[in-house]
Amino acid sequence: MPVSTLSFSLIQTSLFWEDKGANLDMLAKKILSIEEYTEVIVLPEMFNTGFSMQPKKFAETMDGPTVEWMLRLSAEKKAIITGSLMIQEGEQFFNRLIWMLPNGELGYYDKRHLFAFAGEDQHYTAGNKRLIASVKGWKINLQVCYDLRFPVWARQQGEEYDVLLYVANWPEKRNHAWKTLLTARAIENQCYTIGVNRVGMDGNNIAHSGDSLIVGPLGEVLYHCAFNEDVFTITLQKDELTNTRAQFPFWKDADFFQIQ
């Protein structure tokens, strides 16, 4: 595919609560079933366990079985695979998004904003660095769920990135905020914004409606799916993004700031 396009596959699915084997088997089947050409496959937050507060029981190291699973599937599909899982380093635990390339190289982003309402801050350590990945000249800002509520953490300075991507376990009860904030992030940063969420009930009887979204740089909804499991592939166009920014160069009027 030309460098002016980038193809994403979004996997919106229910998850088996704290059952790694069942989740990895299920997700492998969904990944291998993708027939369309795809370059980036996106899984939900904590895709191998659900949003669990038991990292001492379920966390793995970076050379553990789930990262190895990501490497194997990425190589087989010849596509990047991304999603978050519990990772242990020393005595610390992270909700870590892995960006796995087919050649075995990887990047990672540790969730910055921990969801204190559910006690996430009591079990995990917050990250302090953004990760903007590069694919074919496209720049992708990778974030996790609750980060969505904090616009400064995602804010463009100039034209730093082209796609803002969130993986999530965002409850149905607050799905209006999820959809509204994803749209706002796209408009204010003049970028494509992708949010991939799970569906179904988790082990705490919290319902998830999915509502995975792809939003264009003017806030136009390119994809939306609620409640149902779905695997959806889309090819984004760099020309549309470039033309929008040229026609409406709002980013030039933005305030300069630094994150401490």
Query: Catalytic residues, which ones?
Result: 45, 111, 145
Query: 3-state SS of 80-108?
Result: EEEEEEEEEECCEEEEEEEEECCCCCEEE
Residue 253 DSSP class: G
Q: Which of 115, 135, 137, 136 is nearest to 124 (CA)?
A: 115
CA separation for the pair 49, 129 (Å, rounded): 24
Taking a C-beta distance cutoff of 8 angstroms, is the pair 85, 52 a contact?
Answer: no
The C-alpha angle with vertex 199 and arms to 193 and 202, in degrees rounded to 5, equals 125
Q: Which of 205, 154, 214, 140 is nearest to 179 (CA)?
A: 214
Residues contacting residue 211 through CB under 8 Å, at least 6 positions apart: 170, 175, 178, 179, 195, 197, 224, 225, 226
Residues contacting residue 74 through CB under 8 Å, at least 6 positions apart: 41, 80, 81, 100, 101, 102
Taking a C-beta distance cutoff of 8 angstroms, is the pair 153, 144 a contact?
Answer: no
- Paired sense of beta strands 199-201 and 207-215, if any: antiparallel
